[in-house]
Copies of this chain bind each other. A is one copy, B any other.
Amino acid sequence: MSRLATLPLETFAATLASDAPAPGGGSAAAAGGAMAAGLLAMVVKLTLGKEKYKEAWEELTPLGDRLDDARVRLLELIDEDTKAFDGVLAARRLPKETDAEKAARRKALDEANLLATTVPMQTAFFAHEALKAAPAVLEKGNPNAASDAWAGALAAWAAVLAALANVRINLPSVADPELHRGFREDADAMEKAAGEALEKTRALAKSRGLLA
């Protein structure tokens, strides 16, 4: 299969809308996160180019690099999420007649479920990387692009929460109790941090008249 990130936008949206269960929310979260990182990176670039906003250059330059990296990684995760989902379906279809088959299927399922949890955790992580940059980008960046920074923060937050929902639905299938607990704690902490970053950006957006 060709990479999902190479599909035309309208084809990707139509593929989501089809009755095939994948690509679904996990891949869409990665795609939304990539657009969010792109928007925030644009605001950084529209700031670095302008002498007028020179005071913000030092703080925003490393954020721009991080946002570009996050975008590239999130685009890869669009495919990784769909592949991980397909992996779970494939493992479920393995034969389970003999004891040896059952054991092999159990092992394949454990591995597939672990991957299907790890991948959205990474999507959440990189979308959160983008979201973390948003308050500084909106506060210090080119004010003419403030609505773009706010749009980026909104899409990044939505991507973090959608990815974490995918972590949570896969959690019951993660057999190892230590891993299970680690994922749950990480997901809880990231959900909280994402909410705080959105709130901070929302206050800045409100002060710029971008909200009621």
Contact = CB atoms under 8 A, between A and B. Distances in A.
Interface of A: 4-10, 12-21, 24-26, 28-29, 31-32, 34-39, 41-42, 45-46, 49, 67-68, 71, 75, 78, 144-148, 150-152, 154-155, 157-159, 161-162, 164-166, 168-169, 187-188, 191-192, 205, 209-212
B151 A165 contact: yes
A24 B148 contact: yes
17 contacts: A9-B31, A15-B38, A17-B42, A18-B42, A18-B45, A19-B42, A20-B42, A24-B39, A24-B147, A25-B151, A28-B148, A28-B155, A32-B35, A147-B162, A155-B155, A155-B162, A165-B211
Contacts of A210: 165, 168-169
Contact of A42 (B16, B187, B192): B16
Contact of A75 (B10, B21, B67, B212): B10
A49 B210 CA distance: 42
A153 to B, nearest CB: 9
A52 to B, nearest CB: 15
Contact of A165 (B17, B150, B169): B150
Contact of A5 (B9, B39, B41, B205): B9
Contacts of A165: 147, 150-151, 205, 210-211
A4 B10 CA distance: 9
A35 B21 contact: no
A55 to B, nearest CB: 19
A161 B211 contact: yes
A2 to B, nearest CB: 10
Contact of A67 (B17, B39, B211): B17
Contact of A212 (B146, B192, B205): B192
B13 A35 contact: yes
A145 B23 CA distance: 12
Nearest to A30: B9
